[in-house]
Structure 1
Amino acid sequence: MSKKFGIGALSAALLFSSFSVGMADTGKPEWAGPPDWAGSGNGNDNEDNNKVENVIYMIPDGFSSNYAANYRAYKGEEAVWDDHLKGMFTTPSANSDITDSAAAGTAMATGEKTNNGVIGLDPEGNELETILETSEEEGKASGLVATSTITHATPASFAAHVEDRNNETEIAKQLVESEVDVILGGGKNNFLPASEGGNQEDSNLIKQAEEQGMNIVENREQLEEADIDVEKGEGLLGLFAGGALSPELHREDTEEPSLAAMTETAIDSLEEDKDGFFLTVEGSQIDWAGHANDAAWAMSDTAAFEEAVQKAIEFAEKDGETLVVVAPDHDTGGMTAGANDSMELNADILQNVKTTGDQMASRLNDDRSNVQEVVESSAGLTLTQAEVQSIQEADNAVLAINSVVSDKARVGWTSTNHTGADIPVYAHGPQADKFSGFYDNTQLPKIIAEVMELK
């Protein structure tokens, strides 16, 4: 398998040539990206075009502008990223108008399109160099953080190369063999052998990682106590659940850390490298909530993601040489801000919901005679008899519960899959205005490479 350079061979002239539109080999539009004069900037987002030493690339999976609008209603005020909106981008994959997370992650990591389901390879199977790998070649430290399994499509796209995103055991091997310094998320089972209840045939990748100098942590308390120095060759592997971490609504009932805590520890560890760092942080479960049409889960995990973004921005403001980029990979669920002919956004009532729709459905008895009790006690909502009956008679109780809750919150859904909606990008720090304009998702890592002056 030959290697194709998606990032390293790029020139600044190609990156910012203008808004010319051509046709890629896939027959889909290809945007050259924003010119370097685009955008007027917000406050210190430009900072005289200082060189960017560190990048924190934050991906709220499945998020879009309607999620942002509902989140403001949910929160009752602006989100931390609202003042840093820079542009919009398109998301089609090489073989579909609607991308999956593997193709989107690959585009956002390498600057090249690929087919849905593929990670770190182009459609012909050539290996693509990622922006994280290019940063490592420049001597920078690197990290991956997610609330999914850390071997899931989006985090994997920055450090692995596989034909099938579902091959998470191979992704785990590649992560351990990579030069990534900090790896935090779920998916412990993908690193353990079958003899220990894991998914590897016989390899114990956690033991291998430890032998390679990685410090291993497995719960919230151990993460808080972690103290590593990447400048000395130390690393950190945190696997906090056998599979994915719990949804934010349920996280406090576990020993799993918050996304903000993982992000803060990753930053604290990586900033020890004098050459700078590249960190990818994914709020994974906003997407899963969208697939389930679960508005409360979507908003609570967005709130958890916002806390992580706040940690990143606080560090960036103190450091002065750190760029924070917040860029979702695609929209999930076709969420609408408003529904049922209402002129009001009612998302603030979702603050009262204590559990996911899936957990509510798991508490229903066989004849679903306790629908009213379960939903009202879990969601703080009063149901009509028609709403109770709709849940009792539904083929899918989870979707029915989520539909009722969403209706009351005036949140609409058009799909249980991804959509092709254009996606907002936010940026804060030196040269943040480079992200202004309308372009394709493949431009994101190219802009990052340019502002980091990667060779």
Structure 2
Amino acid sequence: MEKRISRKITVILAVLLVVFAIGGNGTASIVKASEQQVRNVIFMIPDGFSSAYATNYRLYKGKESIMDSMLVGMHRTNSANSAVTDSAAAGTAMATGVKTNNGMISMSPDGKKLRTILQASKSAGKSAGLVATSTITYATPAVFASHVTSRANEAEIAPQYLENDVDVLLGGGKKYFPDQLLNQAKEDGYRIVFERKGLTYARKSKKLLGLFSEEGMAAELDRKRTKEPSLVEMTEMALNILSQNKKGFFVMIEGSQIDWAGHANDPAWAMKDIEAFEQAVEKAVDFAKKDKHTLVVIAGDHDNGGMSVGGYGEYAAKIDLLRQVKATGNYMATQLNEDKSNIKEVVKKYTAIDLADEEVKKIKAASVPSMAINEVVSKRALVGWTTNQHTGVDIPVYAFGPGSELFKGLIDNTDLPKRMAKAMNIQLIQGK
């Protein structure tokens, strides 16, 4: 009798083990209980991304993205003082677990500094990194390792990264790191690189500061015209360096340009930068699969542009047209001559679109030619936009690896860092 009961208990425990081994990827694999411990968190933020972007990208790609199978829930994005957040307030909630006002960087509405998930990870002996295709001092990366009342104070944000001992910093924004700060970084043990090829020699570095442009990095559509690395190359290097710490790491990796594409209402820019972000996600997931102690969490901070799937009165989508676009609207506008007499030729060269005379007139008369070009491309692809600013819709949450079940359902953006801290068994307590 006792043997039969013991056998039943063993079977039940085995079933439970399999159930808990099913992460957000929906694939079962038998994992020992000890392997469920989360040492590393890779937090990936496709800035400005929403379900409409996800759907359009699936159509653009022609099949499911790697993220589709990892979908676990949604999160609410409102800030402390608005139903529509900006990146500073959204990022603060996602880094600290506390709502703040638009424009504030990891400070409460009454001006108190808020402890971040990155700082909590460092206190636990882990390494930490920030990767972005914007300036590395821009709102989203800034919230994880700095505290300022205004996101515009990027020159004040940069030195705080060194004060908080962020081990890996990769992105744009060289203008915010004067020689004095770069010299301090060298003294603090950072290897400093300014071009893509510099990453080749940085693999064995303990600390790395990569500043690949004066301001924001190039859109993925335009990157081939620069000496900048891709997001996946920066991701690979960050993971390589941070994983040297046996106590683990926390890293935030942002696809910043998705948001900028939304502000520009540029659908091709958006799709190409989602593609670049997906490649970085694939690299992160591959790392997590091999490591078995890594949690990957993906969540946009807010929607941008109010993108639609289909539009302009047609029950259709023609996203495949965007695969022929070879430059952003911003870049195309720089190729127009002074009297804009070459509009047809430029648009044809970079989009394969033969403009109608009315479209040429509209672009020529526009005060911002790039926006007019983007409107033409959007209309041809049947991608609608409601604004060139943020909206307040709920945002998809994706997760992979041990702890992914913590992010299921409709949660708040403030829940994200709290649940990461729980997964890593570290303390994210404000005021301490």
Match of 2:304 in 1: 332
Indicate if the aligned counterparts of 1:45 and 1:428 stay in contact, CA closer than 8 A: no
Determine if the alignment matches structure 1 residue 208 to structure 2 residue 192. no
Question: CA distance change for structure 1 residues 41 and 172 in 2, over 3 Å: closer, same or farther?
Answer: closer
Could you report, residue by residue, the CA deviation over 1:73-97 in whole angstroms, capped at 9, with x for unpaired residues? Answer: 1111111100000001110111111
Please say if residues 39 and 434 of structure 1, whose CA atoms lie closer than 8 Å, have aligned partners that are also in contact: no
1:283, 1:363 → 2: CA distance? 26
Report % sequence identity: 54
Aligned length: 405
Q: Is the Cα–Cα contact under 8 Å of residues 269 and 328 in structure 2 kept in the other structure?
A: yes
Q: How far is 1:386 from its partner?
A: 2.1
Q: Distance in 1 between matches of 2:191 and 2:368?
A: 43
* Paired residue type of 2:415: Q
Secondary structure of the corresponding residue to residue 125 of structure 2: coil
Instruction: Please tell me whether the aligned partners of residues 75 and 412 of structure 2 are also in contact (alpha carbons under 8 angstroms).
Output: yes
Deviation at 1:382, TM superposition (A): 1.8
The structure 2 residue matched to 1:268, chosen from 228, 240, 245, is 240
Within 5 Å, give how 1:284-433 maps onto structure 2: 284-433=256-405
Amino acid at match of 1:221: K
How far 1:215 moved relative to its partner? Answer: 0.9
How much does 1:241 deviate? Answer: 0.9
Task: Find the counterpart in structure 2 of residue 106 from structure 1.
Answer: 92
User: Which residue identity is paired with 1:159?
Assistant: A
Q: How does 1:79-94 map to 2 (within 5 A)?
A: 79-94=65-80
C-alpha separation in 1, matches of 2:183 and 2:393: 43
Kindly report which structure 2 residues correspond to 1:133-144, keeping only aligned pairs within 5 A, or say none: 133-144=119-130
How far apart, CA to CA, are the structure 2 residues paired with 1:48 and 1:81? 25
AA of the residue aligned to 2:321: I
Measure how far apart 1:342 and its partner are.
2.0
Q: 1:11-69: CA deviations, max 9, x gaps?
A: xxxxxxxxxxxxxxxxxxxxxxxxx9x99871149957712110000000000000000
> Take 1:346 and 1:335, find their aligned partners in 2: how far apart are those partners?
14
Identify which range, 401-410 or 41-50, moves more after superposition.
41-50
Contact 1:228/1:235 (<8 A) preserved: no
The answer for the alignment partner of 2:55 in structure 1 is 69
Q: Which moved more, 1:414-423 or 1:174-183?
A: 174-183
For residue 261 of structure 1, report the CA deviation from its aligned partner: 0.3
Judge which range, 111-120 or 350-359, deviates more. 350-359
Distance 1:366 1:161, change over 3 A: same
Inter-partner Cα distance in structure 1 for 2:57 and 2:200: 29
The AA in structure 1 aligned to 2:61 is K
With normalisation by structure 1, the TM-score equals 0.86
Task: Please say which of residues 322-331 and 45-54 is displaced more in the overlay.
Answer: 45-54
- Of residues 26, 43, 48, the one that matches 1:57 is 43
Gaps of 5+ in 1: 1-35, 194-203
Q: Quick one: which amino acid aligns to residue 88 of structure 2?
A: A
Note closer, same or farther for the CA distance 1:45–1:154 as it changes in structure 2 (3 Å cut): farther
Specify the structure having the higher radius of gyration (Cα): 2
Query: What SS does structure 2 have at the residue aligned with 1:248?
Result: coil
Partners of 2:25 and 2:399 within 8 A in 1: no
Q: For each residue in 1:395-434, what CA deviation from the matched residue of structure 2 results, as whole angstroms up to 9, or x when unmatched?
A: 3211111000011111110000000011000000112111
**SS at structure 1 position matched to 2:152:** coil
For the 8 Å contact 1:45–1:430, the answer to whether it is kept is no
Give distance in 1, aligned partners of 2:342 and 2:28. Answer: 54
Hey, what's the Cα distance between the residues in 1 that align with 2:101 and 2:129?
25
**By how many angstroms is 1:118 displaced?**
0.3
- Alpha-carbon distance in 1 for matches of 2:398, 2:416: 11
Aligned-partner SS, 1:226? coil
SS at match of 2:221: helix
Cα separation, 1, equivalents of 2:66 and 2:246: 28
Name the CA distance, whole Å, in 2 between partners of 1:152 and 1:58: 15
The one-letter amino acid of 1:357's match is G
CA contact (8 A) 1:46 1:433 kept: no
1:364 CA displacement:
1.9
Secondary structure of the residue that 2:109 maps to in structure 1? coil
Partners of 1:96 and 1:119 in 2: CA distance: 16
2:10 aligns with none
> One-letter code of the match for 1:416?
N
The SS at the match of 2:236 is helix
